[in-house]
Each structure stands twice: as C-alpha cells, then as structure tokens.
Structure 1
Amino acid sequence: MNPRDTPDRPTFFPIGSFDAQRIEDAFSLMGPKWTTWSVMTMAQEGRPMRVRDVAARLPFVSEQLVGKRLAAMHTDGLVTRTDKRHGAPYRLSALGESLTHVHRTLADWSRNYLSPGAMAEAERVEDAVQRLRLRHSIAMIQVLDAGGPMRFVHIAEGVDLDVSFTRHRLLRLQADGLVTRTGPRHGDPYVLTGAGRELGPVYATVEHWSAPLATRWTPSPPVPVATAQRTHSGLPLGSDDARTAAALRRSAAVPNALFSHASQPQSRVPTAATASWAPGRVR
C-alpha cells in the first residue's frame, strides 16, 4: 500500500478546521475556464500585456474569449490596467501574483495523488481547480473526514442538503477521485480517497490566499437541487471540451515546458495562516 494512503497518517491541516464557504468563493474566482492559463502566462512574462499579447501565447483560445476573460479577471481584482484607455495593457495585481503559490500547491497535490504523468502545468492546475470548485463539495469532504465511512443519506444529513442532490454530488466527487465507496453494492458507505484525505494543505493555502477578499464577498445564492452535470475527464466530453482537448494536442506553439515548473517539494503554508489552527490529529 502506498504510504500516503494509510489512514493513520498524521493530518497537519485538519480538513474540518477550514471555512468551506470562503474556500469555495476563492475557487469561484480561479475556476472560470482559461483563468489559470491567463494568470500563468502573465506571471511568466512579468510585464503588462494587451489582450492580443496574451492570446498570442494561447493559440488554442480566441482573442475575443481572452478579452472577455481578462475583463472578468479585472472585475475580480486579479489583474489591473495601466490606464483607462480602450486597449490598455493588463498586468497581474498583487492578488493575481500571489496565485503562484496556490498554483504550485495545487500542482503538487495533483502530481502526488491524482495524475503523476506528464502534463502542462497550467492544464494540471486547471484540472485540479475543476475537481475542487463545486458548491458543497468541501462540506461533504469535511463530513466524511470527520465521520467516514458514511452512507449517502447520512452525508446528506451532515451537510443539510437534499438526498438526491447529495447523491449526484457524491457521484461527481467519486469521478474526480476524491471519494470512493467501500463496496460495489448500492448503499455501501463512502470514504475519502488518499487524494481527498490530503486536501488539508490545499485548503490551507487557498484560505490564506483569500484573506484579502473576505470583506468583498456577499453570501452566495442557494444552489438549486438539480442533477449535477458530470463533465470531468473519465466521463464523456462535451463538444467544447473535445475541441479544447484537440486544440491542445494540435498546438505546437505552446509546448508543455512553457507552463511547467521543476518538480520541487511543496512550499510550506505561511506561518500566519497556520498559527491559529488546532494541532493535527492522528487517525
């Protein structure tokens, strides 16, 4: 058995100690498609860039779409503009620049527990964000971390959500490699996978990154109880995802090395972010 998968491994960042809503709100800023690619492109360039400059580095994305994404990132505070003229260059804000540490943590988590193979770094980070950004998923992971194995009806009670919605969310979390069932029969309990149990450092980093935004957010609207769309890899790709995958394979202009980082140990979460947390428990 992989040492990472042993259930009694110490947890230094208890999953239940984090503010699930705050982390989900942070993921909602990182989550829109092409945000990660845009941020990492601008971080590597280290200079103000016009829409066409960013689009030139991302040949698989239209310039119009890049423009819309940068405009949304400007509204969210991830980028700033050098002046107010139409077409003025964008550059990363301090908040956007600080995403570099978050991206590295996400990439390390993905590489260690989900996808060890070669992958462009931006693609890896975006994949990790899509696995983690769904509403109420953090609360379910916290409930399972505290009381698993659990049947889905008990998980629904623990997060105070509709049973049908909970079932569909658990199916998505299972497809994303974060939870699994203890047996093949209907009704068998769910438990966290190794990747799910090792989310503490990821949540710690994202929560710390989101601190400057805490006063800006308003409560999110209720999520309607409906069937969740299962769009992750391993499930049938929608037409947009299929076109994106094909474009990434065709593109010779942006080799994996452009968005990759040398393998390195995961950076420590800043002391300021961990000082108030309770000591980890041994499970």
Structure 2
Amino acid sequence: MSAQITPMSTADAQRVETVLHRIAPKWTTHVVHAIAKYGPEMRVADVAQHVTALSPSYVSKRLASMSEAGLVTRDGAFDRAAPYRLSSAARTLGPVYRTLAQWSSDHIDHTPQGRYDRIEDALQRLQLPGTTETVRLFAEHGSMRLPQLAERLGTSEQFAATRLNRMQADGLVARTGDRHGAPYVLTDAGEALGPVHTALQQWDSRHTTALAPVVPAAERTLNSPAQSARTAAALRRSAAPSSLFSHPPVPPPRVPTAVTAASHPSRGR
C-alpha cells in the first residue's frame, strides 16, 4: 500500500462518497463562496449578481438543493423572498476546500486557474459513485485487472470498465500496458488522495455523525424565549469566518510520474 494513502474500510469509502454527494454538485462551491464573501445573508437575485454565469432561476434551484443537503438555511420556508445564509456545516468547509485545491495544484492541473474553478474540477473528478471505493481497493491490492476489480466491487465488468475509463480520463488510474487485459494501477494523483479523504471524513464527523450534547433540563429553563430569540438573531447576523476560503501559500507543484498516452483517453464531461 502506498504510504501516501490513509487506510480506509468500505464503510469509510461510502462515508466519503456521501459527503461528496452533498458538496460536489456543480456551482455549489461558487455559491458557498459568494455567500461567505458578500453575506452573511443573500437572496437569490443577490447570489446571481455575484455568480454571473448562473441565471436567477438556476441559482434558485441550486440553493434549494443546497438547503436539502444542509449547506444553507433560511427563515420562512414559504417566503420566496427570504434570504439564505450558510449553515454551520458550510461555514467550516475551508479545510476541505484547501485540501482539494492543494491536491489539484500538486497532482492534476498545473495551469493557472481560479481557485474555486480548481476546487470544483477536483470535486467533479472524485464525486462519481464507486470512485472512492475503487481507489481504496487499488491502495489495498496494488495493480488489478478488470475482472478482479469487478469482483471486489461486487458489480458487473461493464460498470467497472466504465468507472475505470472515467478515472483514467480524470488522471486517477492508469493501465500498465497497451495489451488487452493489462492491469491498472493508481497514478500519483490517486495515491495522493489520502489527505482529501481524511479532510472529508473529519468534516463529516464534525457535522453529520457527532451526537448533539444533552442539555440538562435545569439548564434549559435558564434560557428564556426572549434570550433564545436574541441569540438566534445574533447568529443570523454573524458573518462566515474569514478563514473559510483563506489558504496558506501553495508550494511549487510536484510533477507526477509520467503515464503513457494510452493511459489518458480524452476526458468527456
């Protein structure tokens, strides 16, 4: 097993994929950034004004999906004009975003591009079902042929082949030769996913699986309704932490091990 990969179980891989399903839909990162920078509360039209590539109708649909994913909240569920604000989970996505940007810069794309475009591109490479489990299996078993991978995934060879083709295009796996049936291995980018998977699991532990502390009844009675209302209002006015999208200086990228041209078919989106 590569020293760069943090050992994971199948349950860990599924957990990572569940988090990716929440945060990876296209334009989610840009919307989170817009509210974090220009909020703390923004209406649909305000978000569309700052994410100019999106129409107000698309922004409305994206925000509705993000609300279902627990990334944004709003007062008045039936008030279409009510503004959205980031949830506590979304306000702590900074470490995940920084890790994704660093991984992309080091191993995927060395060309200059916008920070949030880079994060979104990284998420699109990782978010498809079965990708994380496939990476885990290669990390555990080393090189594998298609039938071996399909057996360990518990799926058809057709599905496994489709997933491998996409992962080749995304720079995560490569074939070790041109002949039919040649085994596959992880690329440098695939082997370096450990910090990304760790960041996703830590974020999930903080906001999804952690149990809320039990407050004794005697303490609950000390909080009057008026005090609770004032506290809620203060939280709504609180801006997202400035560290959400801050990041340390990025060192010069490391050029990964060369992979044969046959290992990099054209990416299809």
TM-score when scaled to structure 1?
A: 0.71
Verify the 8 A CA contact 1:121 1:261 in the aligned structure 2: no
Cα distance 1:45–1:261, how it changes in 2: closer, same or farther (>3 A)? farther
Shift of 1:210: 1.5
Q: How many residues align?
A: 216
Match of 1:213 among 208, 215, 225: 208
Q: Secondary structure at the match of 1:210?
A: helix
1:45 is aligned, of 32, 38, 43, to: 38
Say whether residues 1:263 and 2:249 are aligned partners: yes
Change (3 A) 1:132 1:55: same
Q: Cα offset for 1:109?
A: 0.5
**Correspondence for 2:238:** none
Q: Distance in 2 between matches of 1:66 and 1:198?
A: 34
Verify: 1:189 aligned to 2:183, yes or no.
Answer: yes
CA distance in 2, matches of 1:189, 1:29: 32
Contact preservation (8 Å) 1:151, 1:187: yes
**Cα separation, 2, equivalents of 1:62 and 1:153:** 45
Point out 4+ residue stretches in structure 1 off by more than 2 angstroms: 10-18, 82-86, 211-216, 259-265
Write the deviation string for residues 240-274 of structure 1: whole angstroms up to 9, x where unpaired: xxxxxxxxxxxxxxxxxxx8966347xxxxxxxxx
Q: Equivalent residues in 2 for 1:22-37 (5 A)?
A: 22-37=15-30
Are 2:199 and 1:199 aligned? Answer: no
> Contact 1:155–1:166 (CA<8 Å) still a contact in 2?
yes
SS at match of 2:67: helix
1:148 CA drift (Å): 1.6
RMSD between superposed Cα atoms in Å = 2.2
User: Max radius of gyration: which structure?
Assistant: 2
Structure 2 length as normaliser, TM-score?
A: 0.75
Secondary structure of 1:91's match?
A: strand
Q: CA deviation at 1:46?
A: 4.1
* SS, match of residue 11 in structure 1: coil
Q: Superposition pairs for residues 1-283 of structure 1, below 5 Å?
A: 10-11=3-4, 13-16=6-9, 19-84=12-77, 85-211=79-205, 212-214=207-209, 263-264=249-250
1: CA distance, partners of 2:202 / 2:210: 14
Quick check: 2:48–2:59 contact (8 Å CA) kept in 1?
yes
- State the Cα deviation string for residues 62-110 of structure 1 (Å, max 9, x = none): 1110011111111221011144432111110100111122111111100
State the one-letter code of the partner of 1:63: P
Question: How far apart, in 2, do the equivalents of 1:38 and 1:116 lie?
Answer: 25
Can you give the 5+ residue segments of structure 1 that lack an aligned partner in the other structure? Answer: 1-6, 217-258, 266-283
Please tell me whether the aligned partners of residues 18 and 203 of structure 1 are also in contact (alpha carbons under 8 angstroms): no
